[in-house]
Amino acid sequence: MSKIIKIDEAPTEPWEGVCDMRWIASSKVDAKHFRFVHYTYEPNWSSNKTHLHHNRESAYYILEGKALLHINGEEQWIEAGTAVYLSPGDKHSIVGAGPDGMKMLEVWAPTEPDIVYFVDGVEVKD
pLDDT digits (tens, 9 = 90+) for 33-56: 999 999 999 999 999 999 999 999
Could you tell me whether strands 74-79 and 57-71 are parallel, antiparallel, or unpaired per DSSP bridges? Answer: antiparallel
Say whether pLDDT at 30 is over 90.
no
Is there a contact between 78 and 62 (Cβ–Cβ < 8 Å)?
yes
Q: Is the dihedral of CA 72, 75, 107, 8 positive or negative?
A: positive
Domain boundaries, the chain: 12-121
Look at domain 12-121 and name its CATH class: mainly beta
Is there a contact between 79 and 100 (Cβ–Cβ < 8 Å)?
no
Say whether pLDDT at 121 is over 60.
yes
Dist CA 96 CA 74 (whole Å): 13
Is there a contact between 55 and 111 (Cβ–Cβ < 8 Å)?
no
